[in-house]
């Protein structure tokens, strides 16, 4: 294969942020030397086994203080005080999820469904659903709300919230919803994309102005339980106007669920004409609503699982699974892409496949170096970026000093690791995002798609490497003849993506319109992947220009990201962000912003709106921090002894050092980029 000179030039020009010497070594000597385990939104490693019946909630929830809710981006100009008045744009929250969010409104659905009779005993067992710390934080949140209400001060500003994170299993989620509302009737739980958020129940407080707190608590517990043919009775009341106010409140707030009537109190006498208000569920209202919800849920089957793969591209793995299961690649959803030359574990969800069907293929896929486990039913698909990060266990072999460096190797390694541990690394997109070692890089295909050059994009995708194997012979034949049918007969069965594209080209022809239809043979996530690759390439170039021009310090015109709970006393350097291209981003108001405009003009995108309507692709863009740090970093140096037999009866025992290093990275960060900063070595 010809040397990928474009790749080498591109990545040798990337910057370093630390000043240590570094060292040489070999990564990915084998897939087992590079293990990647996805960390889900709850902070759990996805390779850990789950209990399909109970799915222990104590391990399924994040610490609420660490759970970052995604909000829309807001920009405002503030003064950055550091010797002079410099204006920087502050992002209330920066989206660091690799553009992998989806646009469009997200419906917030208040949860009113109770649990089945068989679950009644479990409803009250919050202690078994939440871990001890989360229970304590929830109790404290509840106490704070009560204290506010009981004091003279009122709740002001936005309603306080307490997030329990995402709970994918709908049955566990329903139990938790009801358990919280039964224990704390003055709170409500709402669901949004499977996340459970706890808020004050303002209707409870309003009812407490009319009846006792005990009655209000019992009433909301009654509403939540939704027991058929049950009734709730308020305490006897002689005041007609007061009863009228209670009737009005209940019917106004819950009239679609219940009805109220007044009855004389049992065993009353003329001298004690008390009247009670009785509340009943409207006939069939609950049954009808429950049936409609259940019917809606039955429309689509979602099965979640953990995919383990070895030395296999993710899209190739999905294509193989799709063929076996009789679905299409777009029926699979995932939170992020994973390395090929590695052993990787990631969460996935497949539509229209039952857990039982997925379990049936376990033996069949093992011969393809894949495995599926943690198989369970869920009620929604995954979204790109829906993860906390990744954990890495890496072995770096054949360690040695840099050229002309005579210092102690162990000291060099220790210095390098500690330096990056505390100072971080430049948050470049890794080379695997662009198709390392290939003639055509993924960003080139993305640029062609953005320019609506559909035929060119197809030809780029089917460009062969300089290898004499069936796949590349088929690609070469296609570029010479544009004979899709003939190429199909040559293309191996396991190349699912290539065959899908060729089948569409055979059906629609090699025209501009035919190529548009051919791209629709790929799932949306893959079509947009190529455009994201182009945006990633430009971001890499932008951060190199930014560091060369200004260094890592905050300067006038910068974009600075603040987390929701961040303070604005001083803005550390690792808060600086740069935009990843899209239609909804702002650019720095300094030389970097001008650089972006020049590059877009260079690539013929000066009028690009980052929307490709013909392929149903919209790219809003996002903001990415220029610096990142590894978390939970640990390492160990080991000696490996190689015995070199020089002559009969004699040998030389030579020891070589290897480094075992483990760390966590946030979503969309690359381990190879972190290692590059540590080792000061381009791979």
Active centre residues (catalytic): 339
Centre a 10 Å sphere on the Cβ of residue 183 and count the other Cβ atoms it contains: 16
List the one residue out of 86, 172, 73 whose CA is nearest residue 129. Answer: 172
What the block records as the tokens of 276 is: 């009670």
Q: Is residue 234 within 8 Å of residue 277, measured between CB atoms?
A: yes
- Any idea what the Cα angle at residue 140 is, between residues 139 and 142, rounded to 5°? 65
List the one residue out of 554, 640, 596 whose CA is nearest residue 82. Answer: 554
Alpha-carbon 140 to chain mean position: 29
Q: How far apart are CA 16 and CA 425, in angstroms?
A: 7
Burial environment of residue 180 by CB neighbours within 10 A (0 to 12, 13 to 18, 19 or more): buried
Q: How far apart are CA 40 and CA 44, in angstroms?
A: 5
**In Å, how far are 142, 159, 213, 325, 650 from 149, measured between CA atoms?**
11, 13, 12, 55, 86
Sheet holding 559-561, edge to edge: 75-81, 85-91, 559-561, 576-580, 622-625
Ranges of H-type helices in 462-523: 470-481, 484-490, 496-508, 512-519
List the one residue out of 95, 7, 232, 166 whose CA is nearest residue 666. Answer: 95
Give me the residues paired with residue 351 across strands.
302
Q: How far apart are CA 45 and CA 61, in angstroms?
A: 12
Characterise 73 by phi-psi region: left (phi > 0), alpha (psi -120 to 50), beta (else).
beta
Q: How far apart are CA 415 and CA 178, in angstroms?
A: 53
Buried b (16+ CB within 10 A) or exposed e, 437-447: eeebbbbbbbb
DSSP helix/strand/coil, 131: coil
Centre a 10 Å sphere on the Cβ of residue 650 and count the other Cβ atoms it contains: 7
What the block records as the tokens of 493 is: 């069965």
Give me the residues paired with residue 662 across strands.
393, 634
What is the bridge-based pairing of β-strands 162-166 and 187-192? unpaired
Dmax (CA) for the chain in angstroms is 120
C-beta contacts of 518-526 below 8 A and 24+ residues apart:
518/458, 519/449, 519/454, 519/457, 519/458, 519/615, 520/615, 522/329, 522/497, 523/328, 523/329, 523/330, 523/332, 524/330, 524/616, 524/617, 525/330, 525/333, 525/334, 525/384, 526/315, 526/329, 526/497
Residues 6+ apart with CB under 8 A from 135: 126, 127
**In Å, how far are 24, 34, 91, 575 from 82, measured between CA atoms?**
39, 43, 19, 15
Q: Is residue 170 within 8 Å of residue 378, measured between CB atoms?
A: yes
């Amino acid at each position: 294969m010809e040397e990928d000179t474009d790749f080498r030039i591109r990545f040798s020009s990337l910057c370093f942020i630390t000043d240590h010497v570094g060292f040489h070594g070999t990564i990915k000597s084998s897939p087992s030397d590079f293990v990647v385990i996805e960390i889900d939104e709850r902070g759990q490693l996805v390779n850990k086994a789950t209990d399909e019946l109970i799915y222990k909630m104590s391990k399924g929830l994040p610490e609420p203080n660490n759970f970052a809710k995604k909000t829309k981006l807001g920009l405002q100009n503030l003064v950055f005080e550091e010797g002079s008045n410099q204006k920087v744009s502050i992002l209330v929250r920066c989206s660091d999820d690799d553009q992998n969010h989806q646009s469009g409104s997200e419906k917030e659905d208040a949860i009113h469904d109770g649990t089945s009779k068989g679950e009644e005993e479990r409803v009250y067992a919050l202690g078994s659903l939440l871990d001890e710390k989360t229970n304590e934080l929830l109790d404290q949140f509840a106490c704070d709300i009560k204290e506010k209400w009981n004091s003279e001060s009122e709740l002001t500003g936005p309603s306080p919230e307490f997030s329990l994170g995402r709970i994918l299993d709908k049955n566990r989620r329903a139990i938790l919803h009801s358990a919280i509302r039964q224990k704390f009737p003055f709170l409500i739980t709402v669901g949004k994309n499977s996340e459970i958020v706890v808020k004050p129940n303002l209707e409870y407080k309003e009812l407490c102005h009319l009846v006792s707190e005990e009655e209000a608590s019992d009433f909301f517990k009654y509403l939540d339980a939704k027991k058929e043919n049950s009734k709730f009775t308020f305490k006897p009341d002689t005041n007609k106007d007061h009863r009228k106010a209670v009737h009005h409140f209940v019917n106004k707030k819950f009239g679609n669920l219940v009805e109220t009537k007044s009855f004389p109190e049992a065993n009353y006498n003329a001298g004690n004409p008390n009247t009670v208000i009785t509340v009943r569920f409207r006939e069939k209202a609950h049954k009808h609503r429950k049936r409609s919800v259940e019917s809606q849920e039955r429309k689509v089957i979602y099965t979640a699982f953990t995919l383990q793969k070895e030395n296999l591209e993710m899209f190739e793995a999905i294509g193989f699974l799709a063929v076996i299961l009789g679905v299409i690649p777009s029926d699979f959803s995932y939170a992020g892409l994973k390395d090929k030359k590695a052993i990787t574990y990631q969460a996935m969800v497949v539509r229209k496949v039952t857990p039982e069907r997925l379990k049936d293929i376990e033996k069949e896929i093992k011969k393809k170096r894949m495995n599926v486990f943690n198989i369970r039913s869920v009620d929604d698909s995954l979204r790109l970026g829906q993860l906390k990060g990744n954990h890495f266990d890496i072995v770096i072999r054949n360690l040695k000093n840099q050229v002309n460096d005579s210092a102690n190797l162990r000291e060099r390694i220790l210095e390098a690791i500690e330096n990056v541990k505390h100072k971080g690394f430049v948050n470049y997109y890794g080379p695997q995002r662009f198709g390392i070692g290939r003639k055509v890089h993924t960003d080139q295909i993305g640029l062609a798609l953005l320019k609506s050059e559909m035929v060119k994009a197809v030809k780029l995708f089917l460009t062969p490497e300089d290898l004499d194997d069936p796949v590349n012979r088929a690609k070469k034949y296609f570029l010479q003849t544009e004979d899709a049918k003939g190429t199909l007969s040559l293309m191996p069965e396991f190349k699912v993506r290539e065959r899908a594209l060729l089948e569409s080209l055979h059906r629609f022809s090699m025209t501009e319109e035919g190529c548009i239809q051919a791209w629709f043979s790929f799932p949306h996530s893959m079509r947009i992947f190529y455009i994201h690759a182009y945006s990633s390439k430009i971001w890499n170039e932008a951060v190199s220009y930014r560091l060369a021009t200004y260094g890592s310090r905050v300067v006038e015109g910068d974009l600075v990201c603040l987390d929701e709970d961040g303070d604005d006393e001083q803005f550390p350097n690792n808060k600086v962000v740069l935009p990843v291209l899209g239609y909804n981003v702002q650019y720095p108001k300094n030389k970097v912003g001008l650089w972006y405009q020049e590059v877009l003009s260079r690539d013929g995108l000066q009028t690009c709106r980052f929307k490709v309507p013909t392929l149903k692709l919209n790219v809003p863009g996002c903001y990415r921090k220029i610096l990142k740090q590894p978390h939970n970093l640990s390492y160990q140096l080991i000696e490996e002894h190689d015995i070199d037999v020089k002559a009969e009866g004699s040998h030389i025992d030579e020891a070589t050092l290897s480094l075992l290093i483990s760390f966590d990275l946030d979503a969309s960060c690359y381990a190879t980029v972190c290692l590059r900063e540590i080792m000061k070595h381009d791979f």
